[in-house]
């Protein structure tokens, strides 16, 4: 017996509630538009701000003995958020301002007013001095003595709600001090939007070359058909690909970048490390070498897990030394050589330029840690992890400057749209793009 299909109607249906999707939903619902948001992850906040809560908000694989994160075909960790808010649930909260000139090259005019508006709405602030702990200050001074112009970094944080010494940004914030897409999603619902959590979009409905809705199914097996004037894919750099492929845009996923990230850790001979301090509070965007550096060690639970993953049982001996550990983060802008298939694991190939940048980042991390007082023989680098994967659709390839695909009324707004890897955390950029797209859609529907 065929299952009954639940039918809904909307002005705009959005697949995914990450920073792009939730921004569009918020902006349009505030203007009285009928919006349906579909999120494959859950809406609950149980254990949020704990090690286990952070793990539950990541897409997980069944790889034993570390089933906590997905991996690429080549074995790199692939960090993907799941739940209302998407990747912002598990990001570190770094708010890098969009490069207006970068986007202008691709015909996308981003105004400073729009950037300022997004920053205000997303609680973007520089950390107050009292949130710069002694371990972080030690790294900051060391970097500057070596000639690296480190400064405070913008954060998606309301520091009036934040707590000095809290390390839970990556695991979620139990105090609500870190902005996530959930904030905008909740606002959208309060203005009349419909949120379908634990529901996955399978495909866009195309009629006569025009997108007219989506088909989806929730975890209980209930099927939905949502008719809409506009469809927006905001399911992330990986999740958007199968939706577009099933719509006939087979070139989707022909590129893939992950901005490979490495955290380097050293141990102090004396003094305290930066483990229980505000993460990524100071750093430097090294545009010449295509790298971003910042202070971070990570929550103790996640740090211990990565040590075990990188060194096996030998990593156990480091666990008790967490209080003396200093950590520096390096993220590179990679060349996007890879692909995301309809089925199976994404693939990302390290090019010669990628390897050069990664080696440069590791060596620079070592110099800073050594200058800060770490035993140089204690320094270790974790396995590269891919954060905020994207470039799978790309402006200038499958998208025009309005973020529209060749299929009319089918748009994308997430990290998949990036035309090249910017090498900086892209959440604020995606919010700005979402605000820009919402203005266009408001006039259409």
In a domain? residue 52: no
Do both 356 and 405 map to the same domain?
Answer: no
| 375 Cβ contact list (under 8 Å, min separation 6) | 266, 267, 268, 269
In a domain? residue 108: yes
- Beta-bridge partner residues of 329: 263, 294
In a domain? residue 68: no
Query: Which of 386, 402, 430 marks a domain boundary?
Result: 386
Do both 356 and 310 map to the same domain?
Answer: yes
Do both 373 and 324 map to the same domain?
Answer: yes
Query: Which of 360, 386, 412 marks a domain boundary?
Result: 386
Do both 265 and 203 map to the same domain?
Answer: no
Query: Which of 386, 413, 433 marks a domain boundary?
Result: 386
**Per-residue pLDDT, 47:** 75
In a domain? residue 193: yes
Per-block mean pLDDT, blocks of 10 residues, the chain (445 long): 82 97 98 97 80 72 58 85 89 91 93 97 97 95 98 96 86 88 97 97 97 96 97 96 97 93 91 89 94 87 70 70 91 92 92 95 97 94 87 96 98 96 89 98 95
In a domain? residue 55: no
Do both 427 and 316 map to the same domain?
Answer: no
For residue range 89-117, list pLDDT tens digits in order.
888 899 999 999 989 999 999 999 999 99
Do both 5 and 35 map to the same domain?
Answer: yes
| 298 Cβ contact list (under 8 Å, min separation 6) | 167, 170, 263, 275, 279, 306, 327
Residue ranges making up the domain that contains 226? 1-43+83-122+179-250+390-445
Q: How far is CA 419 from CA 105, 108, 143, 408, in A?
A: 10, 11, 31, 20
In a domain? residue 63: no
Do both 88 and 210 map to the same domain?
Answer: yes
User: DSSP label at 404?
Assistant: B
In a domain? residue 62: no
Count of domains in the chain?
2
Do both 239 and 133 map to the same domain?
Answer: no
**Per-residue pLDDT, 1:** 42
Q: Read off φ and ψ for residue 8, nearest 5 degrees.
A: -130, 160
Do both 113 and 132 map to the same domain?
Answer: no
Do both 339 and 270 map to the same domain?
Answer: yes
Query: The CATH number of the domain where 315 resides is what?
Result: 3.30.410
Do both 96 and 217 map to the same domain?
Answer: yes
Do both 420 and 290 map to the same domain?
Answer: no
Q: Per 3-state DSSP, what percentage of the chain is helix, strand, and coil (rounded to 5)?
A: 30, 25, 45
For residue range 404-428, list pLDDT tens digits in order.
999 999 999 999 999 988 778 999 9
Closest CA to 135 of 371, 326, 366: 326
Q: How far is CA 364 from CA 149, 197, 254, 272, in A?
A: 13, 43, 32, 21
Query: The CATH number of the domain where 188 resides is what?
Result: 3.50.50.60
In a domain? residue 60: no
């Amino acid at each position: 017996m065929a299952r009954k299909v639940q039918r809904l109607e909307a002005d705009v249906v959005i697949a995914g509630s990450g920073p792009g999707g939730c921004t569009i939903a918020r902006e349009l619902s505030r203007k009285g538009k009928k919006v349906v948001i579909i999120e494959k992850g859950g809406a609950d906040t149980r254990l949020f701000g704990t090690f286990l809560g952070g793990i539950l908000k990541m897409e997980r694989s069944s790889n034993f003995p570390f089933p906590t994160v997905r991996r690429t075909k080549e074995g790199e960790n692939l960090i993907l958020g799941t739940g209302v808010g998407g990747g912002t649930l598990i990001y570190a909260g770094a708010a890098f301002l969009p490069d207006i000139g970068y986007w202008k090259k691709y015909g996308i005019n981003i105004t400073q007013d729009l950037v300022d508006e997004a920053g205000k709405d997303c609680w973007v602030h520089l950390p107050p001095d009292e949130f710069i702990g002694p371990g972080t200050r030690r790294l900051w001074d060391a970097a500057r003595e070596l000639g690296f112009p480190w400064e405070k970094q913008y954060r998606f944080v309301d520091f009036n709600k934040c707590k000095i010494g809290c390390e839970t940004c990556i695991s979620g914030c139990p105090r609500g001090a870190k902005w996530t897409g959930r904030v905008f999603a909740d606002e959208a619902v309060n203005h009349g939007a419909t949120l379908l959590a634990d529901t996955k979009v399978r495909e866009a409905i195309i009629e006569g070359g025009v997108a007219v809705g989506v088909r989806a199914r929730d975890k209980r097996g209930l099927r939905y058909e949502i008719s809409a004037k506009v469809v927006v894919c905001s399911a992330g750099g990986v999740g958007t690909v199968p939706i577009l492929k099933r719509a006939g845009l087979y070139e989707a996923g022909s590129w893939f970048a992950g901005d490979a990230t490495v955290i380097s850790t050293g141990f102090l001979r004396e003094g305290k490390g930066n483990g229980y301090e505000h993460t990524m509070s100071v750093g430097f965007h090294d545009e010449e070498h295509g790298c971003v550096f910042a202070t971070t060690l990570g929550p103790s639970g996640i740090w211990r897990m990565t040590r075990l993953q990188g060194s096996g049982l030998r990593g156990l001996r480091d666990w008790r030394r967490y209080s003396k550990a200093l950590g520096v983060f390096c993220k590179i802008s990679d060349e996007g050589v890879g692909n995301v298939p309809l089925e199976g694991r994404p693939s990302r190939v390290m090019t010669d330029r990628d390897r050069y940048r990664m080696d440069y980042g590791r060596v620079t991390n070592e110099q800073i840690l050594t200058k800060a007082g770490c035993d140089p023989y204690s320094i270790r680098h974790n396995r590269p992890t891919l954060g905020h994967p994207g470039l799978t659709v790309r402006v200038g390839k499958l998208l025009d400057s309005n973020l529209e695909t060749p299929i009319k009324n089918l748009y994308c707004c997430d990290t998949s749209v990036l035309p090249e890897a910017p090498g900086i955390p892209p959440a604020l950029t995606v919010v700005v793009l979402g605000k820009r797209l919402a203005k266009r859609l408001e006039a259409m529907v």
